[in-house]
Structure 1
Amino acid sequence: MLQDIDQSVLAEIDEMRNRLRLRLRTSRRWEGQLRRNLTARAIAGSNTIEGYAASVSDVEDIMVGEAPIDANDTVTAEIEGYRRAMTYIQRLAEAGDDFAYSKGLLNSLHFMMQGHHLIKRPGWWRTGPVYVTSAEDPTIAAYTAPDAQQLAELTGELVGWLNEGDLNAPGLVRASMAHLNLVAIHPWSDGNGQMSRALHTLVLAREGIMAPEFSSIEEWLGRARNTYRYYDILADVGSPVWTPDRDTLPWIRFCLRAHHQQAQSVERQVNTTREVWAALDEAVEQRGWPDRMLYALLPHGHGQPPAPRDLPDGCRTQRTAGPTRHPRTRPCWLARRQGRGAEPLLHGRPGSPQGDRARNSRAPAAARPVRVAAKCCSGETSVEVETRPQHEHAVRSGGCGLRSAASQTRVLH
């Protein structure tokens, strides 16, 4: 049962979501590019957990059917599969009142994700055992999923609950429990983690929380330190075998923390995008550049290079200064599949607390000047955009000490 502190966190998340709804009520020219970027971040985050690391820029290229710069063919296939499922989830968010969860829907989403692995029977329940191996000894099963003979009953119970169970519970709680139950049932031979996170996002969308790209926590879960915590909490709430009556409050609180921090991140990104766009719009108009230069320059305000598809004809941009984008890598403690039916597994802990803090420490927020040199038919010049934290406040919710910062943006002439 949720306690007062949990209700307080839910209220703070709702407040942030409401502010975001107000900002997005009127369609903006920059909104489409922002939605694409947020979707790419969610896809990249969920696939990074499975060991398929790709930069946000590469994911955006794959989303529009272009060849990525760094991602190999294996990673590209995984990203494309997840993109198909996420696109369908975005459409289902707007489905009518006759929408209903079903086993067919779950299997269809799974096939969209895993259809390039036909040997693993995507879209069909597994017919044999599946297990998670121990970090200390890969020959020992740390978790054994329910027998294949139980899948029809368990998935039927899950679908029934999704349609009719706990409908008065907060949407974030229902989405979190859908995630936990599906990953515990492990109904497929592969892709169970990805499907569980996708179902989490789908439930959020159907509950009317916000559009999937604005409400998903997949990006947050894909950050290395959060991924450690994700697997740790699943191990703590779970047990060596399927045990549906264990206390799930720690899992709910973990997910509320994820939603709280991700809501801060999305709100900050929306504000920054709006401010950068306004500053660039003024600068582009003053220089007499074509309007399409706005779309080419906007990614620099977020530390990303512009995609060639966004550049006007006869124009090119070159990033001459600013933060370096580092591709995310697979955590060393995630083992690859070991034989048929074994999921990517927890393989060792992140080391000492001191080492963990050092590895994941971040420099204090500071100004991020990014200079963009652009050459067009009108000549060569440059624009520099700076995003600077204006203030920072701590939100003590559920004992997690979350922090957020508002940004101030300006064009440097």
Structure 2
Amino acid sequence: MLYGTPQLEAIDDKVLGEIEEMRRDLKYRLAETHRWDGRLRRHLQALAIQGSNSIEGYRASVEDIESIMAGEDPLETPATVAREIAGYQQALTYIRILSHTRAFRFDTGLLHALNFMMIGHHVDKTPGAVRPGGIYVRNTATGEVVYEGPDAEEVPELLEELTGWLNTGDLDAPSYVRAAMAHFNLVSIHPWRDGNGRMSRALQTLVLGRDQITTPEFSSIEEWLGQGRATYDYYDALAQGQGGRWNPHGDTLPWVRFCLRAHHLQAQQVGRRLAEAGEVWTMLEERVDADGLNPRTVSALYEVFVNRRLRRSRYQADEALSQGQAARDLRDLAAGGWLRPYGETKGRFYAPGPRMQEIKDAFAARAVPLRDPYRHA
């Protein structure tokens, strides 16, 4: 028996309607191709990877995550953390492919395979295989057991029930609700020795991707869950529904509301980023043209607008340039006050120069708080 999908109330339906309206607008705007789309998608995927892994204590900068995604060595992230990032990126890449695959069914083999992609480097934790014994989730600060999963003997049957439900259960429920319940049930079953939280968040993203809400990087709430206070709220919402141990009779409406709120806030944030990307890119095109620089350098400037730094190899790959062309462009941007170089040879990178920092500060000053849909209905 799994935790059941709750009956929504009027306020939840209202919040759902607002989320769907924002997502429809997002899909409409994404239907038209822009030069900044690829950079924004990469940035959002890196933020999702950062958010989900930071919850587990694996912290890396967005810039280093994008380097790992590109197959490059990160500048600051330890190798142990880089392996976690790379494993999670591999699983999310597969999820993005599965979101558009015609012939598809959820099954336990898929879940085990995704777990192996994420933590396959931890051979001692039997990745991709059901845990051999009990599972106890502890408060890292106090050591107190905050959740006890079902007995190991129950796990295979529970996974079969979950995948069966994913294929045929509650199909009339909103996609956001089904995705939230997939997340809650998987993390509550806790079928593996490691990677359960990341797997559950990734499964939520896959359910939304399969329902064609929008592409995974634009529908994931993993970034939001990894942000400061939201992480504590996330654990609190899980604990409230689980009640300390596997007992699939609890009230799951607070959990679903937590997820709907996260989707609403993340959708607001992504919508703003998309609008901002177009405005910034157009502004940079005008500034680059006025300075007599090559139009392709807008790509480099946009990169340091959304991130703290840019590596020559990233710009070179984005614009399909030779090493010499990329190096000359970046020297020109540094000479014009757009970029500021740091480091030497392999560790060299470019941060915003005074002219770029002025633009970043101006946009940061315009930021307004997001609207909480349950507090300001």
| TM interval, short-chain normalised | 0.7 to 0.9
Structure 1, unmatched stretches of 5+, are: 323-369, 374-380, 403-413
Take 2:140 and 2:89, find their aligned partners in 1: how far apart are those partners?
A: 31
Sort the Cα spacing of 1:80 and 1:9 in 2 relative to 1 into closer, same or farther, 3 A: same
- 2:10 aligns to what? 4
Give the structure 2 partner of residue 116 of structure 1: 121
Of Structure 1 and Structure 2, which has the larger fraction of its residues in helix?
2
Question: How is 1:347-386 mapped onto 2 (pairs within 5 angstroms)?
Answer: 372=353, 384-385=358-359, 386=362
Match of 1:150 among 140, 151, 154: 154
SS in 1 for 2:197: helix
Partner Cα distance (2:122, 2:77) in 1: 18
- The alpha-carbon deviation at position 292 of structure 1 amounts to 2.3
Which residue in 1 is equivalent to 2:107?
Answer: 102
1:99-144 residue CA offsets vs partner (Å, 9 max, x unmatched): 1000010001000000100111101111111111357852x53321
Aligned partners of 1:137, 1:295: CA distance in 2, in Å? 47
Q: Which of 227, 232, 236 is equivalent to 1:228?
A: 232
- 1:62 is aligned to 68
Find the residue that maps to 1:314 and give its secondary structure.
helix
Residue identity matched to 1:115: G
Name 1:295's counterpart in structure 2: 299
SS for the counterpart of 2:93 is helix
| Alignment partner of 1:74 is 2:80 | yes
AA in 2 matched with 1:190? D
2:206–2:216: 8 Å Cα contact kept in structure 1?
A: yes
Q: For residue 65 of structure 1, what is the amino acid of its counterpart? A: G
RMSD: 2.3
Shift of 1:393: 7.9
With over 3 angstroms needed to count, the CA separation of the structure-2 counterparts of 1:320 and 1:193, relative to structure 1, is: farther
C-alpha displacement at 1:281, in angstroms? Answer: 1.2
Partner of 1:269: 273
Contact 2:63 2:307 in 1 (8 A): no
Counterpart in the other structure of 2:170: 166
Structure 2 gap segments, 5+ residues each: 1-6, 317-325, 340-350
Correspondence for 1:341: none
CA distance in 2, matches of 1:206, 1:390: 36
Aligned residue number for residue 328 of structure 1: none
Structure 2 distance, partners of 1:6, 1:44, is 29
CA distance 1:290–1:234, shift in 2 (3 Å): same
Secondary structure (helix, strand or coil) at the match of 1:285 reads helix
C-alpha contact 1:35 1:213 (8 A) present in aligned 2: yes
1:8-407 paired onto structure 2 within 5 Å: 8-96=14-102, 98-133=103-138, 138=143, 140-308=144-312, 309-310=314-315, 312-316=326-330, 317=333, 372=353, 384-385=358-359, 386-387=362-363, 395=371, 397-399=373-375, 401=376
* Mean CA deviation greater in 233-242 or 50-59: 233-242
Aligned residues: 345
Other structure's SS at 2:73 match: coil
Which residue of structure 1 lines up, in the alignment, with residue 345 of structure 2?
none
| Cα 1:320–1:264 shift into 2, 3 Å | farther
Identity value in percent? 48
Taking a change above 3 Å as real, the CA distance of residues 282 and 207 of structure 1, as seen in their structure-2 partners, is: same
Shift of 1:240: 2.6
Counterpart AA for 1:43: I
Cα pair distance change 1:302/1:243, threshold 3 Å: same
**1:264 is matched by which residue type in structure 2?**
Q
CA shift digits 1:121-173 (9 cap, x unpaired): 101111111111357852x5332111110011100000000000011110000
Cα contact 1:283–1:383 (8 A) shared by 2 = no
What is the distance in 2 between the residues matched to 1:219 and 1:251?
18
Deviation of residue 313 (structure 1)? Answer: 3.2
What SS does the corresponding residue of 1:313 show, helix, strand or coil?
helix
**TM-score of the superposed pair, with normalisation by structure 1:** 0.79
The 1:395/1:53 distance shift into structure 2, 3 A limit, reads: closer
User: Residue type matched to 1:123 in 2?
Assistant: G
